[in-house]
Amino acid sequence: MGKVRARKETGKLYLDFFFHGVRCREQTALHDTPANRKKVECLLQRIEAKILLDEFDYAEFFPGSGNLKKVQQARATVDETSEVESLSTSVTLAEFSSQWFSEMQVEWRKSHTRNVQSIIDNSLKPLLGAKRIKVISKADLLQFRSSLANRKGRGANIKLSPKTINSHMAILKMVMDEAADRYGFESPYRNIKPLKLKKSHIEPFSLKEVDRIISQVREDYRNYYIVRFYTGLRTGEIDGLKWQCVDFERQEILVRETLIQGETEYTKTDGSQREVPMLGPVCEALKEQYMATKGRSSYVFCNRQGEPLDHNNVTKRVWYPLLRRLGLNKRRPYQTRHTAATLFLASGENPEWVARVLGHSSTDMLFKVYSRYIPNATRMDGSAFEKLVNTAISQAKEPVHEKE
C-alpha cells in the first residue's frame, strides 16, 4: 500500500509506492493542502489499480523520472523469473533430456554419446518422457527403476543386470539434478542408492592352456591371440591397433586409440594411453603379421578387405568354437587380458609395472582382482606368517645347554 507524503524541506507532496519490488518516490509540485492531498491520493489509487491489473506503464505517468531505469531492470528480472517458472512447470522430461543431451555431448566420447542417446531414447522418454519434469516424484523414479528390473536383457529369459540398471539411473539422476538446478526446485533423486552388484570372478587360462590355444587356433589368427595373451591389451585396443603405433625399434606397442563399433577413438581413460613392451613371442608375431597385412591395411589385424576385425564375428566364429574343440570352459575373450595380468604377477614382476602395462591408474585393481591367483607374488596366502610361527616353535623345542 502506497502513501502520500510531504517533504519537510519544501512542504510539497510526493508519492511513495512499490513497483516490481522497487520503492518509488515521485515528487509533485503541489503544496500540502487538504485539496491537493486528495488529488494526489486519487492519483495513487489509479496507479495501484493499474499495478494490480498489470497495466501500469511507468513512463506514461512519470516520463522524465529518474526511477525509470531501475523499474525497467526490475521488470526484466520479473519477466525472466516468470518465464523460468512457466517453463519449469510445463517442460517435460522428454523435452529437457533432449536439450541436456545436446548441451552435454560435446564433452563425451562418441561411444559414450551413443550409450547416453540409447538410454534416453529407449528408456527415459518411453517411461517418463510425458511427465512434466517439475512434478516428477521420488516414487516415479523408483517405479522407473522397477520397470527396468522387469525388462528382458539380451537373452530371451535374462533380465537387465544391476550394472545396466545403475547406468540408466545415473543418466536419469544427471538429468534431474540439472533440471532442479536450472529451474530452482529440489531434485527428487535423493537417497536412492545404486543396486548392489555381484562380485565378478575372473577365469584366467593357465600357461599350459595358453600354449594349447595358440598351437591349435587357426593360422590366420595365431598372431592375434599371441599378442592378446602376452600383452593384456583390451579388445578395442588390439582391434584398433594400427601399424603407426607399432615401434619395432624400441619393441613397444603404443596404445593411443580403441576401436568401438568399427570406429577408432581416444582410449577409455588418459591412464590407458601407454607403451606396452613386446615380450616373449610378441615381437616375432608382429613381424610375421607385418608381412601379412602391412600392404593392405593400416590396421595390424584386419579382415580380407583390410578393415578392422569385428570382435563379435571373431568371438562367435573363431574363439568359442576353438574352446569347445579343446574341451575348455566357455570364457569371454576378455579373459586373455586377465591371463596376461596373472602371468605377469605370478612370474614376480613388480605390481606397479604390471599396472602401467595394463593401463591401470594404481595397483589397487591388481590386488583386488588377481591376488588369489598369485599368492607367492603378493605374499597374501599366510605363508610368511606360517614360516615365522613354525620357526619360533622349532627354536623353542631345541634343548637348552647350560653353561658348565
Residue pLDDT, tens place only, 240-259: 999 999 999 999 999 999 88
Rounded to the nearest integer, the mean pLDDT of the chain is 86
Query: 207-378 maps to which CATH number?
Result: 1.10.443.10
For residue range 113-169, list pLDDT tens digits in order. Answer: 999 999 999 999 999 999 998 889 999 999 999 999 998 877 655 888 899 999 999
Q: Distance (Å, rounded) from C-alpha 80 to C-alpha 63?
A: 24
Q: Distance (Å, rounded) from C-alpha 217 to C-alpha 209?
A: 12
pLDDT of 57 > 50? The answer is yes
For residue range 164-186, list pLDDT tens digits in order. Answer: 999 999 999 999 999 998 888 88
Q: What is the DSSP letter of 328?
A: P
Q: Distance (Å, rounded) from C-alpha 121 to C-alpha 252?
A: 42
Reported as type and span, the H/E element at residue 68 is helix 68-90
- Candidates 10, 3, 9, 16; CA nearest to 29 is 10
Q: Distance (Å, rounded) from C-alpha 401 to C-alpha 404?
A: 9
For residue range 310-328, list pLDDT tens digits in order. Answer: 999 999 999 999 999 999 9
pLDDT of the residue at 377: 47
Q: Distance (Å, rounded) from C-alpha 24 to C-alpha 43?
A: 14
CATH number for 93-183 (one of 1.20.1070, 1.10.540, 2.20.200, 1.10.150): it is 1.10.150
Q: Distance (Å, rounded) from C-alpha 21 to C-alpha 71?
A: 9
- Supply φ then ψ for residue 116, to 5 degrees: -65, -45
pLDDT of the residue at 159: 85
pLDDT of the residue at 376: 54
Beta-carbon contacts of 22 under 8 Å, excluding residues fewer than 6 positions away, are 67, 70, 71, 74
pLDDT of the residue at 381: 47
Q: Which amino acid is at 115?
A: N
Cell of 224: 592375434
- Candidates 33, 30, 32; CA nearest to 6 is 32
For residue range 187-239, list pLDDT tens digits in order. Answer: 999 889 999 988 778 899 998 999 999 999 999 999 999 999 999 999 999 99
Radius of gyration of the chain (CA): 37
| Mean pLDDT for the stretch of residues 327-345 | 92
pLDDT of the residue at 375: 53
Q: Distance (Å, rounded) from C-alpha 230 to C-alpha 218?
A: 18
CA atoms within 13 A on the CB side of 328: 21
pLDDT of the residue at 386: 54
Q: First and final CA of the chain: distance in angstroms?
A: 114
> 90: helix, coil or strand?
helix
Q: Which amino acid is at 123?
A: S
How many degrees, rounded to 5, is the angle at CA 15 between CA 13 and CA 17?
A: 160
For residue range 272-290, list pLDDT tens digits in order. Answer: 899 999 988 999 999 999 9
pLDDT of 333 > 50? The answer is yes
Domains of the chain, by residue range, sit at 3-89, 93-183, 207-378
pLDDT of the residue at 152: 83
Tell me the residue ranges of DSSP E strands in 238-278.
246-247, 252-255, 257-260, 263-266, 274-277
Q: How confident is the model at residue 262 (pLDDT cuts 50, 70, 90)?
A: confident
